[in-house]
């Protein structure tokens, strides 16, 4: 089973990373520990992650809330009853609407069983989820990190994490993904927690700029 983290050891892992990397230590010194972001293992959560693809967190949440408002309960069966127009009225694009319905069908048909994923290694989970239309590596990384609390994921497709890493480490803007992946290996086996520190820096910097 892949290594996991929890509320009980999260700060301890942050401290271990800070002891090995002065840039991560500086984030904790400036902004404290990051939140331990987590989400339940549910259809609702996967829909939320799909909605977050390539848009702001605020607009994704607004679409999710609109869907919940319309359906009362966000379930695979109920989503499949919505027309394209009704999905669009909930701020869901045609493309994402097809992704969400494809996921709903996969869950109802038993092709994907979320509870079973909890007991599988990361690679097997990735192999199963990548077969679903509209679910790529970024979505799977977020699922592994936030839902299953898998400790050693570096989401190289996440712009906020990548940009934060470049800034925190003083790297050139042109640094490639491959170079970043290699550099992130220094944080193994806790790359997820290191990424949460980077997100924490990114969000804290944005909040600071807004106040300023």
List every span in the chain annotated with CATH 1.10.1670.40: 10-37+153-211
* pLDDT score of 208: 72
pTM, entire model: 0.93
List every span in the chain annotated with CATH 1.10.340.30: 43-147
How confident is the model over 93-105, as pLDDT tens digits? 999 999 999 999 9
The CATH number, out of the four listed (1.10.540.10, 1.10.340.30, 3.40.50.1220, 3.30.300.180), of the domain defined by the range 43-147: 1.10.340.30
Return all residues near 83 (Cβ < 8 A) that are at least 6 apart.
none
The token pair at 16 is 């271990």
The token pair at 64 is 């999710």
How far apart, in whole angstroms, are the C-alpha atoms of residue 208 and residue 199? 14
Chain Cα centroid distance, residue 85? 28
How confident is the model over 64-98, as pLDDT tens digits? 999 999 999 999 999 999 999 999 999 999 999 99
**How would CATH label the architecture of 10-37+153-211?**
Orthogonal Bundle (1.10)
Q: What is the mean pLDDT of each run of 10 residues along the chain (212 residues)?
A: 86 98 97 96 97 92 96 96 96 96 97 96 97 96 97 96 96 95 97 98 83 62
Question: Tell me, what DSSP letter sits at residue 34?
Answer: P
């Amino acid at each position: 089973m892949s290594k996991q983290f929890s509320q009980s050891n999260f700060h301890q892992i942050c401290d271990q990373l800070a002891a090995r990397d002065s840039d991560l230590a500086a984030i904790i010194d400036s902004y404290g520990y990051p939140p331990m972001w987590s989400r339940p293992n549910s259809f609702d959560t996967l829909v939320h992650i799909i909605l977050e693809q390539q848009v702001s967190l605020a607009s994704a949440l607004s679409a999710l809330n609109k869907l919940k408002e319309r359906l009362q309960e966000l379930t695979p069966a109920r989503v499949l009853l919505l027309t394209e127009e009704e999905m669009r009225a909930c701020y869901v694009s045609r493309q994402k609407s097809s992704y969400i319905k494809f996921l709903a069908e996969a869950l109802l048909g038993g092709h994907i069983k979320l509870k079973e994923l909890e007991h599988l290694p990361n690679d097997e989970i990735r192999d199963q989820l990548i077969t679903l239309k509209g679910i790529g590596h970024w979505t799977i990384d977020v699922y592994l990190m936030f839902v299953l609390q898998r400790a050693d994921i570096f989401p190289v497709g996440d712009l906020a994490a990548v940009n934060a890493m470049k800034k925190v480490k003083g790297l050139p803007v042109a640094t490639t993904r491959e170079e970043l992946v290699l550099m992130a290996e220094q944080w193994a086996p806790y790359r997820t927690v290191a990424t949460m520190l980077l997100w924490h820096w990114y969000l804290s910097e944005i909040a600071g700029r807004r106040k300023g």
